[in-house]
Amino acid sequence: MERRDFIRAAILGSLATATGIKSAAAGTAAGSSAAGTAAGAAATSGSDEAEAFADASNQLVAVMGGTPEAMYKKGIAEMGGIKRFISKGDKVVVKPNIGWDKAPEFAADTNPQLIGAIVKDCLAAGAAEVVVFDHTCDTDWKSCYKRSGIQDAVESAGGRMAFGNDEKYYQEVSLPKGVRLKSTKIHQAIINCDKWINVPILKNHGGAKMSISMKNHMGIVWDREYFHSNNLQQCIADICTYKKRPVLNIIDAYRIMTQNGPKGKTVNDTMEAKALFISPDIVAVDTAAIKFFSQFKEMDIERVGHIGFGEKAHLGTTKLDTLKIKRVKL
């Protein structure tokens, strides 16, 4: 075993201990060895049969050790397949982090291979259209879309990029469950879609401490300055109370940013972690990702205030041992 593979295996083992993620032996969880064997074989194949046999009761899946596309294919199969979440005729939005005018090796934006795989999968499931956008932080949004590799990946997969840097594309919505943020303008793509999938990258953030699934919601709103001047951590939780929640949160941890986030300075701020997390529970999946991140650089989850606020708002749970979790090493 190469040293880097040994380290990854050790990290995955530590993650299992830290998060309560337990390896499900084939056939035992379902109570039938024959059914379990069929499920494992089908999930590995990545075929339509994988979706038919996969265990749809998993609430969180952690995958480690493959390419972004391979980890996604395995992870979504273990979640029951994309058709569990996307129906024929759905208008779908995939929301990555494309905030920065950076190439993929800088880990400032979501991995383009992962986004392309998700777009392709949604269309194969019968989605009427798949739209991808972000309200970029760097002002040259065209360069962000292009340099990140996401525009090419989306268009090659059959999806469409949408413009996110003009206020005319945003509509006022109320947030009755918000504590500090009671209303805000949200991009019309989110408002008008049938389903949306939240696909952040796992990285350090100077203000929010961590930028993952909950923080990625700031890319669907117009006025982000309000967040920064009115309790950033609470406002992040508040925007996540918007009535149209993502059907899935898929965290890209293939290459992560461990310092100087959210933009980073050099590739030395990043490291290759080769992991991916999937769950409909936005608090749980962010909790698992923070625990994983802490294997590389210590991060006390108490410092990431929006996680606790999110749990208090009943957006999900930090109690990972109460969930059915599947971990996979490719």
Give a yes or no: residue 308 inside a domain: yes
Give a yes or no: residue 64 inside a domain: no
Give a yes or no: residue 127 inside a domain: yes
Query: Which residues are CB-neighbours of 214 under 8 A, at least 6 positions away?
Result: 236, 237, 240, 282, 283, 286, 306, 307, 310, 315
Give a yes or no: residue 317 inside a domain: yes
Give a yes or no: residue 22 inside a domain: no
Look up the domain containing 153 and give its range. 85-271+279-323
CATH of the domain at 244: 3.40.50
Model pTM score: 0.86
Give a yes or no: residue 187 inside a domain: yes
Measuring CA to CA, which residue among 78, 141, 66 is closest to residue 111?
Answer: 66
What is the CB neighbour count within 10 angstroms for residue 308? 15
The one-letter amino acid at 245: R
Q: Where are the alpha helices (DSSP H) in the chain?
A: 3-19, 33-45, 48-53, 68-78, 112-124, 141-147, 150-157, 188-192, 225-229, 232-239, 282-293, 305-312
Query: Which residues are CB-neighbours of 144 under 8 A, at least 6 positions away?
Result: 98, 99, 100, 101, 109, 134, 136, 138
Give a yes or no: residue 300 inside a domain: yes
Query: Which residues are CB-neighbours of 127 under 8 A, at least 6 positions away?
Result: 86, 88, 89, 90, 91, 92
| Cα 90 from Cα 61, distance rounded (Å) | 24
Looking at residue 16, its pLDDT comes to: 58
Q: pLDDT truncated to tens, each residue of the chain (330 aa)?
A: 444 454 555 555 545 554 444 333 322 232 222 223 223 323 333 333 333 334 568 999 999 999 999 999 999 999 999 999 999 999 999 999 999 999 999 999 999 999 999 999 999 999 999 999 999 999 999 999 999 999 999 999 999 999 999 999 999 999 999 999 999 999 999 999 999 999 999 999 999 999 999 999 999 999 999 999 999 999 999 999 999 999 999 999 999 999 999 999 999 999 999 999 999 999 999 999 999 999 999 999 999 999 999 999 999 999 999 999 999 999
Looking at residue 57, its pLDDT comes to: 85
Give a yes or no: residue 260 inside a domain: yes
Residue 262 preceded by cis peptide, ω within 30? yes
User: Could you give the number of structural domains in the chain?
Assistant: 1
